[in-house]
Chains A and B, each alone.
Chain A
Amino acid sequence: MDFLEKYELSACLQCGKCTGGCPVALRAPLNIRSLMREVLLGGEPESVLEHPELWDCTTCATCTLRCPRGLNPSEFIVGLRAELIEGGRVPKTIIDALEGTYKHGNPWGRARQKRIEWKEGLEVKIIPDEGEAEWLYFIGCAPSYDPRLQGVPRTLCRMLDAAGVSFGILGTKESCCGNEIRRMGEEGLFEELMEENTSHFRSSGATNIVTTSPHCFNVFGNEYDLNGFQVYHYTQLLSGLIKEGKVDLPHTVQKKVVYHDPCFLGKQNGVFDPPREVLRAIPGIELIEFERSRERSLCCEGGGGRMWVEGTGEGERNSEIRVRDAHAMGADVIATACPFCLLTLEDGAKTTGLEEQVFIKDILELVAEAMGFDHE
């Protein structure tokens, strides 16, 4: 299919709602409206490939959600990236992430053997070795390898055990879900990851998949072909378990908490309430809201490959804006439910010098405190 046809560029009104809502356009020269027009006029994508800001896009999909004609500018950017990928013209750090994923199953290039080090000391069923389970918990690359995040799957496993849920993990057979890979334009690699993960899902005996990351949640639910599976983000499962009285939260967490909606959970998949329900169930938490919350949540700039590329923008990052806003509201904690949001917002706390005043925590870290778990 012709590039122009694929993205229906001739249907574009040039209204500018896409660029108007773009969280990156505040400080980078990324102008999707203008790029769509350039390609339409130029007749093919080649004309715009010399725009380094193409790698700034976080694939938050705000543009797609706002487009009055139902077009998909976010996918259009991914399509342009795919052209760059095929031509080999890709920033070095992205190459490293893609090659790391190809060789080791994760964009950090970490050894596959080490993918289960996070669970040291915990009894967790590894499905390929030990047999089937009803729930398949897909950890994700960042929570598997990053020491800052490893406590999150640890807490979730302990909590699921305590709630009597039958679950297992894929262990070292788990490979990157491919959400970011696809959005960086590497369609071929995404297909291979999808094939491999899907085959493991099918032999797991599970009917339900739960993920740590909204990114995995998004791609499994929307882009993998997983008929016969129900895909959940952990906040949905957790909120359900709390309602069923299966989760005990005896300890008080006396904190003023503002929840940051991750783009891949909130605006793209409509999961706004379960995270808030979990937070409200924790005794002691005073939950407040950002002005830009829910569908209007300000993208942290961690998605779409941005963990591996600097971005061309100058000036205050969105993560810094978020932290400053939280501080101005008197929040002690920004709670989130996405590993990339967490890492990116923590960077923002560091660079604004507010890391002793505003703490960034995953919802599960607060749950752990409420459950009296030593969140290590």
Chain B
Amino acid sequence: MVLMEHRQGELREISLEMLAKGQELAEKQQAELTAVLLGTGVDSLAADIKRLCHRTLVLEDERLTHFNSEPYQDVLAALIEERKPSLVLIGHTAFGMDLAPALATAGGIPLATDCYEIEVKDDAIVPYRQMYGGKMCTEVHLREAPCTMITVRSGSFPAEGLREINGAIEAVPFAFEKDYSYKKFIQYLEAVVGEVDITQADIIVSVGRGIGGPEHLPVAEELADLLGGVVACSRPVADKQWLPKERQVGTSGKTVKPKFYVALGISGAFQHLAGMQNATTIIAINKDAKAPIFGVADYGIVDDLFKAVPAIVEKLRERKGT
């Protein structure tokens, strides 16, 4: 059973990723793949989803319009009890992190979170997850139970090769008994433009002196925009005021731990490295093959950034289809 995740009318990518993996697991276990779609006005989503699984359970209710762990938990608990899936997949997202542990606890369901791989060994589900900031991987043993739950790390399972199964859509009834005013959604808050806190960014494109001047910043900005990230810089750039000081990464600037850190024309002076060396994935582009940044980077490109970056931007646009 896979919980579909959507926001403001759009199905989130994680949903398709989980369906892809779900299809694979269902086949291995000779079981049915069921998608659960809760919300309001989700007809068109249901139509897309039903092609990819054996059954799409839909419940529309205004209590479910915006994600709220409380009503979602009650509905899912009932569905799990009724339909008895052997495995429940939920995204390890803001959604899933709020819902899964509480749901699992209420139902006595063993839970593994943030899993990047799920295998089937001797008919048992074996999840894999990371520990210590990605430095170690673990094979998890979940207690034997009729149902287990896994929250899935985004991007772990490519949303491709999805088979057309074309199952039925089933509207499920549910009698809400509780008054959920004890946890009430108020509104969404869009990211504030103009005030950038680079320490909170997942993706950072950082420029060093190699950018040459403020007039060349658009090269980095374009890349950052495509990746959904922010632009940061090393100290010389902030000193020259090509970017405001709040964008500076380093010992006398900010320390950042993004998922991706793209260093453009940054030599990797020690004070800079200290501010970003713990980023999950570091990609460095520098003309100097001996630049210290390559010592901490995961991927290195020795090239003129003004050649390398536009090529990357083009490929990204292609892949995004924009």
Contacts and interface: CB of A to CB of B under 8 A. Distances in A.
A93 B236 contact: no
Given A308-B251, A310-B245, A350 B270 contact: no
A347 interface: yes
A308 B252 CA distance: 4
Interface in A143-197: 145-149
Q: Which 8 A-B pairs rank lowest in CB-CB distance, beginning with the nearest?
A: A146-B270, A147-B292, A351-B239, A350-B236, A310-B252, A108-B274, A351-B236, A308-B251
A96 B255 contact: yes
The secondary structure that dominates the A interface is loop
Interface in A227-245: none
Contacts of A351: 236, 239-240
A296 B248 CA distance: 32
A351 B292 CA distance: 19
B253 interface: yes
Nearest to A310: B252
Given A147-B295, A347-B236, A351-B239, A310 B253 contact: yes
A48 interface: no
A92, A145, A346, A350 pick with most chain B CB within 10 angstroms: A350
Interface residues of B, number: 18
Contacts of A146: 270
Interface in B30-64: none
Interface of A: 92-93, 96-97, 108-110, 142, 145-149, 306-310, 317, 343, 346-347, 350-351
Contact of A148 (B239, B252, B269): B269
19 contacts: A93-B251, A96-B251, A97-B251, A109-B274, A142-B270, A146-B270, A147-B270, A147-B292, A149-B270, A308-B251, A308-B252, A310-B245, A310-B252, A343-B271, A347-B269, A350-B209, A351-B236, A351-B239, A351-B240
B245 A148 contact: no
Interface string B240-251: 100001001001
A309 B252 contact: yes
B191 to A, nearest CB: 22
B153 interface: no
Nearest to A320: B239
Nearest to A96: B255
Contacts of A97: 251
Contact of A93 (B253, B270, B292): B253
A347 B252 contact: no
Contacts of A350: 209, 236
Contact of B252 (A142, A145, A307, A346): A307
Given A347-B235, A350-B209, A93 B269 contact: no
B236 A145 contact: no
A317 B255 CA distance: 23
Contact of B270 (A96, A148, A317): A148
Contacts of A145: 270
A307 B271 contact: yes
A309 B269 CA distance: 16
Given A308-B251, A351-B240, 7 more contacts: A92-B254, A96-B251, A110-B274, A307-B252, A310-B252, A310-B253, A346-B269
B266 to A, nearest CB: 12
Interface string B211-250: 0000000000000000000000001100110000100100
Nearest to A355: B209
Given A147-B295, A310-B245, A351-B236, A108 B270 contact: yes
